[in-house]
Amino acid sequence: MASVGPDVHGRVGGRGRPPYTPLATSFMKSWDVIIIGAGIIGLSLAISLRKHGLRVLVVERGEPGREASHAAAGMLVGSGTEIPPALRLLAQESARLYPEFVHELEDESGMSVDLRQQGTILISSHSHVPESAKPLSQDELQSLEPALGILGRPSIHESLDISAAYLRERSVDPRALVTAAVKAARHHGVDISSGAEVKSLRVSGDHATGVQAEKTTYVAPIVVNCAGAWSGCLTPHHFPVRPVKGQMLAVVGGPSLKHVIRSEKVYLVPRSDKRIVIGSTLEDAGFSKQTDVNTIQQLFHAALDLVPGLANSKVHEAWAGLRPGTPDELPILGETSTAGYFVATGHFRDGILLAPITAQVMTNLLLRTPTGYDLSSFAASRFH
Protein backbone atom coordinates (compact mmCIF):
# COMPACT_ATOMS: atom_id res chain seq x y z
CA MET A 1 0.00 0.00 0.00
CA ALA A 2 1.34 3.37 -1.01
CA SER A 3 2.02 6.03 1.59
CA VAL A 4 2.49 9.76 1.29
CA GLY A 5 6.15 10.33 0.58
CA PRO A 6 8.47 13.16 -0.33
CA ASP A 7 6.83 13.62 -3.74
CA VAL A 8 3.56 14.57 -2.07
CA HIS A 9 5.32 17.26 -0.09
CA GLY A 10 7.41 18.64 -2.95
CA ARG A 11 7.11 22.03 -4.56
CA VAL A 12 3.68 23.57 -5.17
CA GLY A 13 3.09 26.96 -6.72
CA GLY A 14 6.73 27.87 -6.23
CA ARG A 15 6.70 27.21 -2.47
CA GLY A 16 9.12 24.69 -1.06
CA ARG A 17 7.91 21.90 1.19
CA PRO A 18 9.97 20.09 3.80
CA PRO A 19 10.49 16.39 3.20
CA TYR A 20 7.89 14.11 4.74
CA THR A 21 8.74 12.82 8.20
CA PRO A 22 6.72 9.88 9.56
CA LEU A 23 4.53 11.03 12.42
CA ALA A 24 3.47 7.69 13.84
CA THR A 25 4.87 6.28 17.02
CA SER A 26 4.69 2.74 18.24
CA PHE A 27 1.55 3.56 20.25
CA MET A 28 -0.27 6.08 18.05
CA LYS A 29 -2.03 5.14 14.84
CA SER A 30 -1.60 7.55 11.94
CA TRP A 31 -3.00 8.00 8.46
CA ASP A 32 -1.78 9.53 5.24
CA VAL A 33 -4.80 11.84 5.03
CA ILE A 34 -7.44 13.01 7.51
CA ILE A 35 -10.69 14.35 6.04
CA ILE A 36 -12.89 16.48 8.27
CA GLY A 37 -16.54 15.90 7.41
CA ALA A 38 -18.43 12.83 6.18
CA GLY A 39 -20.78 14.47 3.73
CA ILE A 40 -20.78 13.52 0.07
CA ILE A 41 -17.75 15.76 -0.63
CA GLY A 42 -15.59 14.24 2.11
CA LEU A 43 -16.69 10.66 1.41
CA SER A 44 -16.15 10.95 -2.35
CA LEU A 45 -12.66 12.30 -1.79
CA ALA A 46 -11.90 9.56 0.74
CA ILE A 47 -12.88 6.85 -1.74
CA SER A 48 -10.80 8.45 -4.48
CA LEU A 49 -7.72 8.67 -2.25
CA ARG A 50 -8.10 5.06 -1.13
CA LYS A 51 -8.14 3.99 -4.77
CA HIS A 52 -4.69 5.59 -4.99
CA GLY A 53 -3.48 3.55 -2.01
CA LEU A 54 -3.54 6.22 0.69
CA ARG A 55 -4.63 5.48 4.25
CA VAL A 56 -7.60 7.72 4.97
CA LEU A 57 -9.50 8.67 8.10
CA VAL A 58 -12.78 10.61 7.90
CA VAL A 59 -13.70 12.43 11.12
CA GLU A 60 -17.36 13.42 11.44
CA ARG A 61 -18.88 15.60 14.16
CA GLY A 62 -22.22 13.75 14.00
CA GLU A 63 -23.52 10.88 11.91
CA PRO A 64 -22.01 10.43 8.41
CA GLY A 65 -24.06 12.00 5.66
CA ARG A 66 -26.72 13.55 7.91
CA GLU A 67 -26.15 17.27 7.29
CA ALA A 68 -26.37 19.15 3.96
CA SER A 69 -26.05 15.96 1.90
CA HIS A 70 -29.03 14.42 3.68
CA ALA A 71 -31.13 17.56 3.23
CA ALA A 72 -30.45 18.21 -0.48
CA ALA A 73 -32.93 17.81 -3.32
CA GLY A 74 -30.48 16.12 -5.68
CA MET A 75 -30.96 18.12 -8.88
CA LEU A 76 -27.85 17.80 -11.04
CA VAL A 77 -27.95 21.20 -12.73
CA GLY A 78 -24.77 21.28 -14.79
CA SER A 79 -25.53 24.45 -16.76
CA GLY A 80 -27.80 27.46 -16.79
CA THR A 81 -28.12 30.77 -15.04
CA GLU A 82 -28.08 29.10 -11.60
CA ILE A 83 -24.39 28.26 -11.98
CA PRO A 84 -21.89 31.12 -11.48
CA PRO A 85 -19.81 31.62 -14.65
CA ALA A 86 -16.52 30.72 -12.92
CA LEU A 87 -18.00 27.39 -11.84
CA ARG A 88 -19.65 26.29 -15.08
CA LEU A 89 -16.75 24.27 -16.49
CA LEU A 90 -16.41 22.21 -13.31
CA ALA A 91 -20.20 21.85 -13.03
CA GLN A 92 -20.55 20.61 -16.59
CA GLU A 93 -17.73 18.12 -16.20
CA SER A 94 -19.10 16.86 -12.89
CA ALA A 95 -22.53 16.35 -14.45
CA ARG A 96 -20.85 14.38 -17.25
CA LEU A 97 -19.02 12.21 -14.72
CA TYR A 98 -22.15 11.38 -12.75
CA PRO A 99 -23.32 8.15 -14.42
CA GLU A 100 -19.94 6.47 -13.88
CA PHE A 101 -19.69 7.96 -10.38
CA VAL A 102 -23.07 6.46 -9.49
CA HIS A 103 -22.30 3.14 -11.18
CA GLU A 104 -19.19 2.69 -9.04
CA LEU A 105 -20.98 3.63 -5.82
CA GLU A 106 -23.86 1.26 -6.56
CA ASP A 107 -21.48 -1.55 -7.46
CA GLU A 108 -19.36 -1.07 -4.33
CA SER A 109 -22.28 -0.53 -1.94
CA GLY A 110 -24.79 -3.00 -3.39
CA MET A 111 -27.61 -0.42 -3.34
CA SER A 112 -29.45 1.87 -5.75
CA VAL A 113 -29.16 5.66 -5.49
CA ASP A 114 -32.13 6.41 -7.79
CA LEU A 115 -30.31 8.27 -10.57
CA ARG A 116 -33.10 9.54 -12.81
CA GLN A 117 -32.49 10.75 -16.36
CA GLN A 118 -35.93 11.92 -17.45
CA GLY A 119 -34.83 15.56 -17.47
CA THR A 120 -36.21 18.86 -16.19
CA ILE A 121 -39.10 21.06 -17.27
CA LEU A 122 -38.31 24.69 -16.58
CA ILE A 123 -41.17 27.16 -16.15
CA SER A 124 -39.78 30.67 -16.18
CA SER A 125 -39.81 34.09 -17.76
CA HIS A 126 -38.34 34.18 -21.24
CA SER A 127 -35.26 36.03 -19.99
CA HIS A 128 -34.27 33.16 -17.67
CA VAL A 129 -34.24 30.28 -20.16
CA PRO A 130 -30.70 28.91 -20.67
CA GLU A 131 -29.37 28.43 -24.17
CA SER A 132 -29.18 24.66 -23.68
CA ALA A 133 -32.93 24.42 -23.07
CA LYS A 134 -35.39 23.20 -25.71
CA PRO A 135 -38.50 25.43 -25.84
CA LEU A 136 -41.74 23.51 -25.43
CA SER A 137 -45.05 24.23 -27.06
CA GLN A 138 -48.31 23.74 -25.17
CA ASP A 139 -48.86 20.41 -26.93
CA GLU A 140 -45.33 19.21 -26.13
CA LEU A 141 -45.76 20.21 -22.51
CA GLN A 142 -49.08 18.34 -22.35
CA SER A 143 -47.40 15.22 -23.71
CA LEU A 144 -44.37 15.38 -21.42
CA GLU A 145 -46.05 16.22 -18.10
CA PRO A 146 -49.88 16.20 -18.09
CA ALA A 147 -50.05 17.02 -14.36
CA LEU A 148 -48.72 20.55 -14.85
CA GLY A 149 -51.48 23.03 -13.99
CA ILE A 150 -50.34 25.70 -16.42
CA LEU A 151 -51.86 23.53 -19.16
CA GLY A 152 -55.30 24.73 -18.12
CA ARG A 153 -54.41 28.40 -18.53
CA PRO A 154 -54.95 29.53 -22.12
CA SER A 155 -52.13 31.35 -23.86
CA ILE A 156 -50.07 31.43 -20.68
CA HIS A 157 -46.85 31.85 -22.61
CA GLU A 158 -48.00 35.09 -24.18
CA SER A 159 -50.20 36.56 -21.45
CA LEU A 160 -47.78 36.05 -18.55
CA ASP A 161 -44.48 36.19 -20.44
CA ILE A 162 -43.76 32.68 -19.20
CA SER A 163 -42.09 29.97 -21.21
CA ALA A 164 -41.69 26.24 -20.76
CA ALA A 165 -38.49 24.50 -21.74
CA TYR A 166 -36.90 21.07 -21.46
CA LEU A 167 -33.41 20.53 -20.06
CA ARG A 168 -31.38 17.33 -20.26
CA GLU A 169 -30.60 17.10 -16.56
CA ARG A 170 -30.43 14.25 -14.10
CA SER A 171 -31.48 13.95 -10.50
CA VAL A 172 -30.44 11.63 -7.71
CA ASP A 173 -31.69 10.76 -4.24
CA PRO A 174 -29.02 12.36 -2.01
CA ARG A 175 -29.91 10.26 1.02
CA ALA A 176 -29.45 7.05 -0.92
CA LEU A 177 -26.32 8.51 -2.54
CA VAL A 178 -24.58 9.38 0.72
CA THR A 179 -25.61 6.08 2.33
CA ALA A 180 -24.06 4.27 -0.62
CA ALA A 181 -20.94 6.45 -0.31
CA VAL A 182 -20.54 5.47 3.36
CA LYS A 183 -20.81 1.78 2.45
CA ALA A 184 -18.43 2.17 -0.49
CA ALA A 185 -15.90 4.02 1.65
CA ARG A 186 -15.92 1.25 4.25
CA HIS A 187 -15.72 -1.31 1.44
CA HIS A 188 -12.49 0.36 0.33
CA GLY A 189 -11.07 0.41 3.86
CA VAL A 190 -11.64 4.06 4.74
CA ASP A 191 -11.71 4.59 8.51
CA ILE A 192 -14.66 6.68 9.73
CA SER A 193 -14.84 8.20 13.20
CA SER A 194 -18.37 9.40 14.02
CA GLY A 195 -19.39 11.72 16.83
CA ALA A 196 -15.92 13.29 16.93
CA GLU A 197 -16.05 17.04 16.48
CA VAL A 198 -12.74 18.48 15.33
CA LYS A 199 -11.83 21.58 17.30
CA SER A 200 -8.58 22.62 15.68
CA LEU A 201 -5.82 21.80 13.26
CA ARG A 202 -2.58 20.54 14.80
CA VAL A 203 0.48 22.26 13.39
CA SER A 204 4.21 21.78 13.86
CA GLY A 205 6.22 24.67 12.47
CA ASP A 206 4.34 25.62 9.32
CA HIS A 207 3.05 22.12 8.54
CA ALA A 208 -0.16 20.31 9.45
CA THR A 209 0.33 17.23 11.64
CA GLY A 210 -3.27 16.20 12.30
CA VAL A 211 -6.38 17.37 14.10
CA GLN A 212 -7.50 17.81 17.68
CA ALA A 213 -10.98 16.48 18.42
CA GLU A 214 -12.89 16.81 21.67
CA LYS A 215 -11.44 13.69 23.27
CA THR A 216 -8.54 12.58 21.12
CA THR A 217 -5.85 13.51 18.64
CA TYR A 218 -5.67 12.15 15.11
CA VAL A 219 -2.33 12.20 13.30
CA ALA A 220 -1.63 12.68 9.57
CA PRO A 221 0.65 14.88 7.45
CA ILE A 222 -2.27 15.97 5.27
CA VAL A 223 -5.64 17.29 6.46
CA VAL A 224 -8.57 18.23 4.22
CA ASN A 225 -11.36 20.39 5.59
CA CYS A 226 -14.66 19.18 4.08
CA ALA A 227 -16.76 20.24 7.05
CA GLY A 228 -19.41 22.09 5.04
CA ALA A 229 -21.21 24.83 6.96
CA TRP A 230 -18.88 24.22 9.93
CA SER A 231 -15.63 24.49 7.94
CA GLY A 232 -15.04 28.09 8.98
CA CYS A 233 -15.14 27.24 12.68
CA LEU A 234 -11.76 25.49 12.91
CA THR A 235 -8.65 27.23 14.14
CA PRO A 236 -6.19 28.54 13.03
CA HIS A 237 -7.86 29.33 9.66
CA HIS A 238 -11.30 30.93 9.69
CA PHE A 239 -12.71 30.63 6.19
CA PRO A 240 -15.70 32.89 5.42
CA VAL A 241 -18.15 30.00 5.16
CA ARG A 242 -21.61 30.54 6.62
CA PRO A 243 -24.64 28.26 6.98
CA VAL A 244 -27.45 29.03 4.53
CA LYS A 245 -30.65 27.40 5.71
CA GLY A 246 -32.97 25.68 3.26
CA GLN A 247 -36.42 24.43 4.26
CA MET A 248 -38.05 21.65 2.25
CA LEU A 249 -40.81 19.10 2.35
CA ALA A 250 -41.76 15.81 0.74
CA VAL A 251 -45.29 14.75 -0.15
CA VAL A 252 -46.85 11.40 -0.99
CA GLY A 253 -50.12 10.44 -2.64
CA GLY A 254 -49.94 13.14 -5.31
CA PRO A 255 -49.90 12.79 -9.09
CA SER A 256 -47.12 10.85 -10.73
CA LEU A 257 -44.45 13.18 -12.12
CA LYS A 258 -41.83 12.04 -14.61
CA HIS A 259 -39.64 15.13 -14.67
CA VAL A 260 -38.10 17.56 -12.26
CA ILE A 261 -40.19 20.76 -12.40
CA ARG A 262 -38.48 24.08 -11.73
CA SER A 263 -39.88 27.58 -11.59
CA GLU A 264 -38.50 30.78 -10.14
CA LYS A 265 -40.43 30.19 -6.90
CA VAL A 266 -40.23 26.46 -6.27
CA TYR A 267 -38.97 23.12 -7.55
CA LEU A 268 -40.45 19.64 -7.48
CA VAL A 269 -38.19 16.59 -7.64
CA PRO A 270 -39.90 13.20 -8.06
CA ARG A 271 -38.42 10.06 -6.58
CA SER A 272 -38.91 6.57 -7.91
CA ASP A 273 -40.67 5.60 -4.66
CA LYS A 274 -43.43 8.16 -5.55
CA ARG A 275 -42.32 10.84 -3.08
CA ILE A 276 -42.11 14.37 -4.45
CA VAL A 277 -39.55 16.69 -2.85
CA ILE A 278 -40.52 20.37 -2.81
CA GLY A 279 -38.15 23.21 -2.02
CA SER A 280 -36.54 25.43 -1.04
CA THR A 281 -35.73 28.56 0.92
CA LEU A 282 -32.46 30.49 1.25
CA GLU A 283 -32.14 31.88 4.77
CA ASP A 284 -29.39 33.33 6.90
CA ALA A 285 -30.48 31.81 10.21
CA GLY A 286 -27.24 30.70 11.78
CA PHE A 287 -27.01 27.01 12.60
CA SER A 288 -30.73 26.62 13.30
CA LYS A 289 -32.41 23.78 11.40
CA GLN A 290 -35.88 24.41 12.77
CA THR A 291 -38.70 24.41 10.21
CA ASP A 292 -41.47 26.99 10.10
CA VAL A 293 -45.05 25.88 9.42
CA ASN A 294 -45.92 29.00 7.41
CA THR A 295 -42.82 28.66 5.25
CA ILE A 296 -43.54 25.00 4.52
CA GLN A 297 -47.12 25.93 3.59
CA GLN A 298 -45.87 28.65 1.24
CA LEU A 299 -43.62 26.17 -0.53
CA PHE A 300 -46.48 23.69 -0.80
CA HIS A 301 -48.85 26.29 -2.27
CA ALA A 302 -46.22 27.42 -4.77
CA ALA A 303 -45.94 23.79 -5.87
CA LEU A 304 -49.73 23.53 -5.97
CA ASP A 305 -49.87 26.41 -8.44
CA LEU A 306 -47.78 24.32 -10.82
CA VAL A 307 -49.33 20.92 -10.09
CA PRO A 308 -52.92 21.26 -8.82
CA GLY A 309 -53.16 17.50 -8.29
CA LEU A 310 -50.96 17.92 -5.22
CA ALA A 311 -54.09 19.08 -3.37
CA ASN A 312 -54.80 15.42 -2.65
CA SER A 313 -51.29 14.66 -1.39
CA LYS A 314 -50.09 14.43 2.18
CA VAL A 315 -46.98 15.93 3.70
CA HIS A 316 -44.65 13.03 4.41
CA GLU A 317 -41.80 15.02 5.96
CA ALA A 318 -40.50 18.55 6.40
CA TRP A 319 -36.90 19.44 7.19
CA ALA A 320 -34.17 22.04 6.91
CA GLY A 321 -30.52 21.74 5.94
CA LEU A 322 -27.51 24.04 6.15
CA ARG A 323 -25.69 24.74 2.90
CA PRO A 324 -22.12 26.01 3.13
CA GLY A 325 -22.16 29.46 1.52
CA THR A 326 -19.28 31.81 0.72
CA PRO A 327 -19.32 35.57 -0.03
CA ASP A 328 -18.98 35.01 -3.79
CA GLU A 329 -21.05 31.78 -3.87
CA LEU A 330 -18.05 29.81 -5.15
CA PRO A 331 -16.45 26.82 -3.41
CA ILE A 332 -13.07 26.95 -1.73
CA LEU A 333 -10.73 24.34 -3.21
CA GLY A 334 -7.02 23.88 -2.66
CA GLU A 335 -4.16 24.16 -0.21
CA THR A 336 -4.02 26.80 2.48
CA SER A 337 -1.04 28.82 3.72
CA THR A 338 -0.35 25.99 6.17
CA ALA A 339 1.51 23.26 4.32
CA GLY A 340 -0.42 20.01 4.18
CA TYR A 341 -3.74 21.66 5.08
CA PHE A 342 -6.27 21.64 2.25
CA VAL A 343 -9.87 22.75 2.01
CA ALA A 344 -12.82 21.59 -0.11
CA THR A 345 -15.92 23.39 1.06
CA GLY A 346 -18.37 26.18 0.28
CA HIS A 347 -20.24 24.25 -2.43
CA PHE A 348 -23.46 26.06 -1.46
CA ARG A 349 -26.37 24.54 -3.44
CA ASP A 350 -24.17 22.32 -5.62
CA GLY A 351 -22.46 19.89 -3.25
CA ILE A 352 -24.25 16.83 -4.63
CA LEU A 353 -23.55 17.87 -8.23
CA LEU A 354 -19.90 18.76 -7.63
CA ALA A 355 -18.90 15.68 -5.64
CA PRO A 356 -17.29 13.76 -8.55
CA ILE A 357 -15.21 16.65 -9.88
CA THR A 358 -14.24 17.84 -6.40
CA ALA A 359 -12.94 14.37 -5.54
CA GLN A 360 -10.99 14.30 -8.81
CA VAL A 361 -9.31 17.70 -8.57
CA MET A 362 -8.59 17.44 -4.84
CA THR A 363 -7.00 14.02 -5.35
CA ASN A 364 -4.80 15.55 -8.05
CA LEU A 365 -3.82 18.41 -5.73
CA LEU A 366 -2.92 16.09 -2.87
CA LEU A 367 -0.88 13.85 -5.15
CA ARG A 368 0.81 16.87 -6.77
CA THR A 369 -0.43 15.94 -10.25
CA PRO A 370 -2.01 18.36 -12.75
CA THR A 371 -5.72 18.95 -12.28
CA GLY A 372 -6.40 20.12 -15.82
CA TYR A 373 -8.35 23.11 -14.49
CA ASP A 374 -7.61 26.67 -13.45
CA LEU A 375 -8.63 26.64 -9.78
CA SER A 376 -7.46 30.17 -8.96
CA SER A 377 -11.06 31.40 -8.65
CA PHE A 378 -11.57 28.90 -5.83
CA ALA A 379 -8.39 29.53 -3.83
CA ALA A 380 -8.77 30.21 -0.12
CA SER A 381 -6.35 33.13 -0.50
CA ARG A 382 -8.96 35.14 -2.44
CA PHE A 383 -10.56 36.14 0.87
CA HIS A 384 -7.38 37.46 2.49
Q: What is the pLDDT of residue 15?
A: 40
DSSP structural state of residue 141: H
Question: Average of pLDDT values for 68-96?
Answer: 94
Q: Name which of 38-47, 162-171, 245-254 the model is least confident about.
A: 162-171
Name which of 236, 188, 235, 193 is nearest 218 in CA terms.
Answer: 193
Q: What is the mean pLDDT of the chain?
A: 90
Q: Give 367 or 129, the one with higher predicted confidence.
A: 367
Question: Average of pLDDT values for 344-362?
Answer: 98
- Supply the angle between the helices 40-51 and 351-366 in degrees, to the nearest 10: 40
DSSP 267-283: EEEE-TTS-EEEE---B
Query: What is the share, in percent, of the chain residues with pLDDT greater than 90?
Result: 83
Q: What global pTM score does this model have?
A: 0.91
**pLDDT band at 377; cut points 50, 70, 90:** very high
Q: What is the pLDDT of residue 152?
A: 47
206: pLDDT strictly greater than 80: yes
119: pLDDT strictly greater than 70: yes
Query: What is the share, in percent, of the chain residues with pLDDT greater than 70?
Result: 89
**pLDDT band at 145; cut points 50, 70, 90:** very high
**pLDDT band at 23; cut points 50, 70, 90:** very low
Question: Average of pLDDT values for 219-224?
Answer: 98
Q: What is the pLDDT of residue 124?
A: 85
Q: What is the pLDDT of residue 21?
A: 39
212 within 8 A of 316, measured Cβ to Cβ:
no
303: pLDDT strictly greater than 50: yes
331, β-bridge pairs: none
35 within 8 A of 42, measured Cβ to Cβ:
yes
Question: Which tens digits make up the pLDDT trace of 182-203?
Answer: 999 999 999 999 999 999 999 9
Question: Which tens digits make up the pLDDT trace of 33-65?
Answer: 999 999 999 999 999 999 999 999 999 999 999
**pLDDT band at 7; cut points 50, 70, 90:** very low
Question: Average of pLDDT values for 356-378?
Answer: 98
Q: Give 30 or 157, the one with higher predicted confidence.
A: 30
> Rounded distance, CA 287 to CA 161, Å?
38
175: pLDDT strictly greater than 60: yes
**pLDDT band at 128; cut points 50, 70, 90:** low
Question: Average of pLDDT values for 370-380?
Answer: 97
4: pLDDT strictly greater than 80: no
Q: How many residues are listed for the chain in this entry?
A: 384
189, β-bridge pairs: none
